């Protein structure tokens, strides 16, 4: 059977090298992670070009009129902040890949080693991989179209800033896609572990309701204890992988999260400005407006997909805790070793709670996400009120 999901992952892998985000290589089949002169020198060359372009851009003044036409100072300030955050997020992603190269290689090796044990994880995730691939490609192509359209209405000295903006957007998009894929694979693995744990719980219930002869009873209890120990070991590895993932992506996560937050407020305000003044009065072209709103739709759809993948992973972990709590309904006491294995796994999960934090400050939960959306709405209203009062 044709492995199109693996082909998409290979495309993501080579695209990362192409734009200069990846600076080491790995082999999915063997789990080998290594540095190579070819990929290292190429990444250095591409990153040096990006750095030089950023320096050249800093010497030029960006003409915001080519993006949104004639606008008031508040709109221009909002655009400057958004574009600055995008460049800072992309540049920080590249710096992190060099500064924490060893940690990134260790994380990649950990991920590959874990999932080589369960190759069906990729097969289980193939449709999520396809959806993510389509959204990421659509976002990049729309960004390219916006850049091309803006370049067609700009002077030659404004082309460089637009190219840098597109490049940084591509880097951010791929970096968040790589983070998404790791979370996706961990979540698929959690599904397998929860399925196995559910089977162990059901067999324990049956064993506690119908005690067998002592020899057979002890044999089944030992077998269940072994299976439970394997589940506990794999769960620890998965949790360690997620923890290390967010430690490595800490700065990048903060920049991307801050970019999402500011861009969301800016999008609400810019939408209000267009509705208030009309795109003709802002000297925007109809094509630019359509491309911008289409890009925003797919960009936020992709962002929501990333967010809910993380939230669903947290829910899968809670489901495992809930399954372990079912041991209290066993009809009679099982073997001592099996009971101790249950106790050990529960204590392990209580002692080391599963939390996903951004830069060790903002904990991602459904309640904190609701608070964030409320804050977005509030700040968007404040910005619109300021515009009504002063412009």
Per-residue pLDDT 10s for the chain (391 aa) are 567 888 888 899 999 999 989 989 988 778 789 998 888 999 999 999 888 888 877 776 665 555 555 566 777 777 778 778 888 888 888 888 898 888 889 988 888 887 787 888 888 889 999 999 999 999 988 888 887 776 665 555 567 777 787 888 889 899 999 999 999 999 999 999 999 999 999 888 888 776 656 677 778 888 888 999 999 999 999 999 998 888 888 877 788 888 888 888 888 888 888 888 777 776 677 888 888 889 889 988 998 999 899 999 999 999 999 998 888 777 667 778 888 888 889 898 888 888 888 777 778 888 888 888 888 889 888 888 888 887 7
Are the beta carbons of 69 and 161 closer than 8 angstroms? no
> How many other C-beta atoms can be found within 10 angstroms of the C-beta atom of residue 165?
21
Say how far residue 215 (Cα) sits from the centre of its chain. Answer: 50
Q: How is the chain split into domains, by residue range?
A: 4-390
What CA–CA distance (Å, rounded) separates 33 from 28? 9
Please list, in sequence order, all residues whose beta carbon lies within 8 angstroms of the beta carbon of residue 261, skipping any fewer than 6 positions away: 372, 376
What CA–CA distance (Å, rounded) separates 319 from 362? 23
> How many other C-beta atoms can be found within 10 angstroms of the C-beta atom of residue 194?
18
What CA–CA distance (Å, rounded) separates 174 from 203? 44
Alpha-carbon dihedral angle through residues 350, 351, 354, 359, given to the nearest 10 degrees = 150
What CA–CA distance (Å, rounded) separates 166 from 152? 15
Alpha-carbon dihedral angle through residues 180, 183, 185, 189, given to the nearest 10 degrees = -160
What CA–CA distance (Å, rounded) separates 273 from 68? 10
Helix H or strand E encompassing 102: helix 101-116
Q: What angle do CA 119, 120, 121 make, to 5 degrees?
A: 90
Are the beta carbons of 253 and 242 closer than 8 angstroms? no
The helix/strand count (H/E) of the chain reads as: 13, 4
Helix H or strand E encompassing 225: helix 214-248
What CA–CA distance (Å, rounded) separates 273 from 71? 9
């Amino acid at each position: 059977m044709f492995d199109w999901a693996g082909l998409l992952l290979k495309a993501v892998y080579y695209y990362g090298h192409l734009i200069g985000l990846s600076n080491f290589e790995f082999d999915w089949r063997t789990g080998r992670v290594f540095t190579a002169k070819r990929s290292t020198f190429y990444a250095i060359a591409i990153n040096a070009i990006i750095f030089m372009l950023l320096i050249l851009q800093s010497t030029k003044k960006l003409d915001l009129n080519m993006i949104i036409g004639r606008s008031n100072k508040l709109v221009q300030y909002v655009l400057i902040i958004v574009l600055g955050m995008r460049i800072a997020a992309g540049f920080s992603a590249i710096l992190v890949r060099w500064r924490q190269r060893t940690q990134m290689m260790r994380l990649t090796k950990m991920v590959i080693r874990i999932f080589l044990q369960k190759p069906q994880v990729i097969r289980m995730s193939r449709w999520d991989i396809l959806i993510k691939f389509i959204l990421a490609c659509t976002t990049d192509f729309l960004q390219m179209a916006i850049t091309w359209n803006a370049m067609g209405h700009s002077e030659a000295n404004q082309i460089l800033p637009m190219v840098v903006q597109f490049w940084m957007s591509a880097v951010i998009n791929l970096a968040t896609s790589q983070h998404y894929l790791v979370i996706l694979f961990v979540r698929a693995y959690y599904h397998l572990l929860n399925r196995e744990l559910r089977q162990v719980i059901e067999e324990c219930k049956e064993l506690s309701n119908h005690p067998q002869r002592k020899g057979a009873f002890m044999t089944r209890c030992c077998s269940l204890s072994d299976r439970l120990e394997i589940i506990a070991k794999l769960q620890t590895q998965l949790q360690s992988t997620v923890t290390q993932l967010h430690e490595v992506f800490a700065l990048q996560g903060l920049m991307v999260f801050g970019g999402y937050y500011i861009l969301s407020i800016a999008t609400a305000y810019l939408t209000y400005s267009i509705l208030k003044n009309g795109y003709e009065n802002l000297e925007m072209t109809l094509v630019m407006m359509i491309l911008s709103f289409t890009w925003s739709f797919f960009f936020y759809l992709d962002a929501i997909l990333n967010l809910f993948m993380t939230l669903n992973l947290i829910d899968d972990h809670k489901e495992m805790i809930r399954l372990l709590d079912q041991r209290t309904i066993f009809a009679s006491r099982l073997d001592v070793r099996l009971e101790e294995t249950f106790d050990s796994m529960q204590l392990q999960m209580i002692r080391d709670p599963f939390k996903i934090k951004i830069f060790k400050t903002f904990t991602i939960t459904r309640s904190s996400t609701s608070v964030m959306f409320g804050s977005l709405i509030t700040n968007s209203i404040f910005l619109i009120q300021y515009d009504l009062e002063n412009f």
